[in-house]
Structure 1
Amino acid sequence: MHLAPLLSLAALASARFVTPDPFAGADLAAGVAARGLKANDGDVHAAASWRWSDCGLPSDAITIESISVSPDPPKPGENLTVTVQATANDLVEEGAYADVTVKLGLIKLLQKRFDVCEEARNANASVQCPVQPGEYTVVQTVALPEEIPKAKFVVNIRGYTVDDDDLACLDLVVDFVEPE
C-alpha cells in the first residue's frame, strides 16, 4: 500500500482480494478505484461496477483527491492501471500501517495489517518512505486474474501513522457481477 503507500494499497487491494485464495499474498497495493473527482459527500461513482469514498478527516496525514482506473470498469483477466492523486499533509515515516478488511457480503475474506512503507518498497512504488508533505500522483498496474468471482467486494482501508494518528481512510466497492 502506499500514498504510494496508502494510494497503491487502495489500488492493489482489489487485485489481491479477488484472487481465488485471498490469503495467498500480502501484495495488497494496486487494483481498485474510480474515475472522477471527489464529490462533496466523499463518494465518487464511476461505472455501476465500482466506487470509492474518502472516509477520512481534513486532519488526516493523507488526503486522497482522485482515483481513476483503466480499463473502466475493471475486467477480469486484463491489466488494471490505477492512478491516484493525493496530498501528504504531514510527513509519513517508517512504521506507518494500514488495517485492511475485504468482505464479500457479510463474510470477511481478509483482515490484515500492512506496513505501508514495506508495501511501497515491495511494489517498487515511485513514492517511498519517508514521504514528505506535498502533492503526489501514483500510477500502478496489476494483472487481474481471470478467476475473479462474479461478486461484489467491499474493501475498507484504515491507515495510521507510526504514532497511531489517522493517516487516511478509504472505502472501495467493486462489483464484478455482470449486468444482465
Structure 2
Amino acid sequence: MRPSAYLSVLVLGLASLVAAKPFDGQVPLQSDGTVHTTDGWDYEICSGPEATVQIESIEVSPDPPKPGQDLTVKVKGTALGVIEDGAYADVVVKLGLIKLLQKQFDICEEARNANASVQCPVEQGTYTVQQTVALPKEIPKAKFTINVDGFTKDDEELLCLKLHVNFMKNPFPRLW
C-alpha cells in the first residue's frame, strides 16, 4: 500500500479548502468536535476556537472508502484569517501504534499542484472543496489513524484533525 494515497486526498482537500472558491451560505461550526460517519471511518476536530480554519464537515464517497476505487473527499469550513504562503501541515499516519508515515506538507504548494481555482493568499470566508483520488487496491485490511496538525506561516494553529479509517470491514458479510 502507498500509505500516502488516502493522506494525499485529505491534504489536497484541506489545501483546497484554504484555496477554494467561497461556498455560498452560512456554515455552522461543529459543536462537539467528534463526528461518527460510518463503521468505516470517522473524524475528530481537535482545533480550538482560535484556529484559523474551522471545519464544518467532511464527506467521503464512497462511504466508507474502498480499496481500488476512486475516493472523493468534500470539505466544508471557514477561514477566520488570511492564509498565506508558508502555511503547512504536519501529518502522521499510523497503523495501530506503528507510525507508517510522518511528513510535513506545504499547504499552498499542495493547492497549486492540485490546480485549485484560488491560490494563496486566501482571504477570510466560508469555503467548500472537493477532491478525488484513486485508492490503491493493495490497501491492507487494517485500521489507520491520520493526525493532521496545520499551522499558519507564523506557526499559529491553522487546524487540528484526527481521522480513523477502517479497511477491515467486509462490505459483503457472510450469510452462513
Specify if TM > 0.5: yes
For residues 76-119 of structure 1, give each alpha carbon's deviation from its aligned partner in whole angstroms, at most 9, with x where no partner exists.
Answer: 11111111001000000000011000000000000111111001
Number of aligned residue pairs: give it.
156
User: How do 1:16-165 residues align onto structure 2 when only pairs under 5 Å count?
Assistant: 20-22=1-3, 28-31=7-10, 40-165=31-156
Structure whose CA Rg is larger = 2
Q: Distance in 2 between matches of 1:132 and 1:92?
A: 7
Q: Which amino acid aligns with 1:22?
A: P
Shift of residue 31 of structure 1? Answer: 4.6
Task: Answer whether contact 1:98 1:116 (CA < 8 A) is retained.
Answer: yes
Superposed CA RMSD: 2.2
Name the residue aligned to 2:163: 172
Overall identity of the aligned pairs, in %: 59
Q: CA deviation at 1:170?
A: 0.6
- What SS is found at the alignment partner of 1:29? helix
CA distance 1:29–1:128, shift in 2 (3 Å): farther
Could you tell me whether the CA contact under 8 Å between 1:158 and 1:168 is conserved in 2?
yes
Distance in 2, Cα, partners of 1:142 & 1:162:
27
Residues 122-166 of structure 1 show CA distances to partners (whole Å, capped at 9, x for unaligned) of 122234211110000000011111111100000000000000100
**TM-aligned CA distance change 1:57 to 1:29, over 3 Å:** same
The structure-2 alpha-carbon separation of the partners of 1:158 and 1:46, relative to structure 1 and needing over 3 Å to count, comes to: same
Q: Secondary structure at the match of 1:72?
A: coil
**Compared with structure 1, are the counterparts of its residues 104 and 38 closer, same or farther at alpha carbon in structure 2 (3 Å cutoff)?**
farther
Q: What is the alpha-carbon distance in structure 1 between the residues aligned to residue 64 and residue 161 of structure 2?
A: 19
What is residue 8 of structure 1 aligned with on the other side?
Answer: none
Amino acid at match of 2:121: P
| TM-score of the pair, normalised by structure 1 | 0.80
Structure ranking higher on relative contact order (CA contacts 8 Å, 6+ apart)? 2
How many angstroms apart in 1 are the aligned matches of 2:10 and 2:157?
Answer: 23
Please report the TM-score for the alignment, with normalisation by the length of structure 2: 0.82
1:22 CA drift (Å): 3.3
Instruction: Determine the C-alpha separation between the residues in 2 that align with 1:55 and 1:65.
Output: 12
The aligned amino acid for 1:92 is I
Aligned letter for 2:114? Answer: A
- What is the CA distance between 1:41 and its match in structure 2? 2.4
